[in-house]
Amino acid sequence: MARKLLLIVVALSLLALPALAQDSAETVRPESVAELFYNLYAAYTRFGIQNEADWDALVDWGVKWDEFLSDDLLASLTEQYASDDLMADPVLCAQDIPTHITVEIVNPEQSKSVSVLVRGDFPSDENEYIMYELATVELLPADDGMWQLVRITCAGR
């Protein structure tokens, strides 16, 4: 069941990528790109943990993460994953995986780059959740006009 759910999430997200890529940076909101990336990444990570898979979600899957992440950010995250002293997931900025992720633009007035605040809901009780700020993410338009994440700054850093 979990595998089917993951495949559905992946299929839907991959179907969304061409549609997003055909639009320009002016019509695709940067927060939509950030939200799609974070939810897809969280789904892959959650699936790996639930199935006791030993993989790096950014490296071992066939997803084109470079559609979402700049080359420099992808290289930095890959290097962080290879480190032995990783205390928290460098994308989620947490040790646990949030059940729900929301994003909000924090600097709508800036013209070139956009900063997005990423929050995650974590279970605190049987039917209760607490929302935490995870990170501030900076996005810039890539050469093709699509927004890409270029920097992730974990909350509290």
Q: What CATH number is attached to the domain comprising 97?
A: 3.10.450.50
pLDDT in tens, 112-156: 899 999 999 999 888 899 999 999 999 999 988 899 999 999 997
Instruction: Select from 128, 104, 108 the least CA-distant residue to 118.
Output: 104
> What's at 76, amino acid-wise?
S
Mean of the per-residue pLDDT values of the chain: 82
> What distances in angstroms separate CA 134 from CA 41, 91, 93, 104, 113, one per listed residue?
14, 9, 6, 12, 19
pLDDT value, residue 109? 66
> How many domains does the structure of the chain reveal?
1
In sequence order, what are the residues at sequence separation of 6 or more whose Cβ sits closer than 8 angstroms to the Cβ of residue 74?
A: 58, 65, 66
pLDDT value, residue 155? 93
Per the DSSP assignment, residues forming a β-bridge with 100 are: 121
Pair 139, 146: CB distance under 8 Å: no
Look at residue 19 and tell me whether its pLDDT is greater than 70.
Answer: no
Look at residue 6 and tell me whether its pLDDT is greater than 80.
Answer: no
Integer Cα distance of 32 and 25 in angstroms: 11
> What distances in angstroms separate CA 103 from CA 41, 46, 120, 138, one per listed residue?
14, 19, 9, 12
Cβ burial, residue 27 (10 Å; 0-12/13-18/19+): exposed
| pTM flag (> 0.75) | yes
Q: Which domain holds residue 130?
A: 2-154
